Amino acid sequence: MKRVLVLMTGLVVALAGMLVAPAEKSYAAQDFYGPASFTTEDGKWDGNITVDSTYRTVRLTIDQNLMRIYKATDIPKPWSPASLTARLCSASSGNCTSFKTFGSSRTITFTNMLPAKYYIDIRDPWTDSYAVGKISARTEK
């Protein structure tokens, strides 16, 4: 009898665990890109991300190992992304968001994006140097 009671208790606990499903988290990513290398001023897109009708927020994050490379010497120096900006450009229409600044958080968020494939464009403000680093992008609810 004691063995049956222990078995039944274990069964009830197991069933209760299966019935209580974890809630979906609002940051569940639908699409993810990177981390991938980028270089500013090279004339190439710095990545891409696809937005659908459910996951319409795009979050870009620059890796902490960002380098600023001076053109005259090719010497890299560790740098903060605070002066870098980025925008998203639609692959189909060519329309782009305005540039946003990464700031010290290394992250930019674009909200209420229309469903489409977007190219990532990272820009630096310097004429004597360019930036090299890694970028990650993800869509969120």
| Cα 50 to Cα 91: distance, rounded to the nearest angstrom | 10
The distance in angstroms from the start CA to the end CA of the chain is 51
Question: Looking at residue 5, what is its pLDDT?
Answer: 39
Alpha carbon distance 83, 55 (integer Å): 28
- pLDDT at residue 11 in the model: 41
With tokens 């222990």, the residue in question is 6
Indicate the domain borders of the chain. Answer: 37-140
10-residue averages of pLDDT along the chain (141 residues): 42 39 47 91 95 94 94 94 96 97 93 96 95 96 89
pLDDT value at residue 29: 52
In whole angstroms, give the CA distance from residue 90 to residue 96.
Answer: 6
What is the C-alpha separation between 56 and 116, in angstroms, rounded?
Answer: 10
pLDDT given for residue 104 in this prediction: 85
Q: Residue 103 has what DSSP assignment?
A: G
CATH number of 37-140: 2.60.40
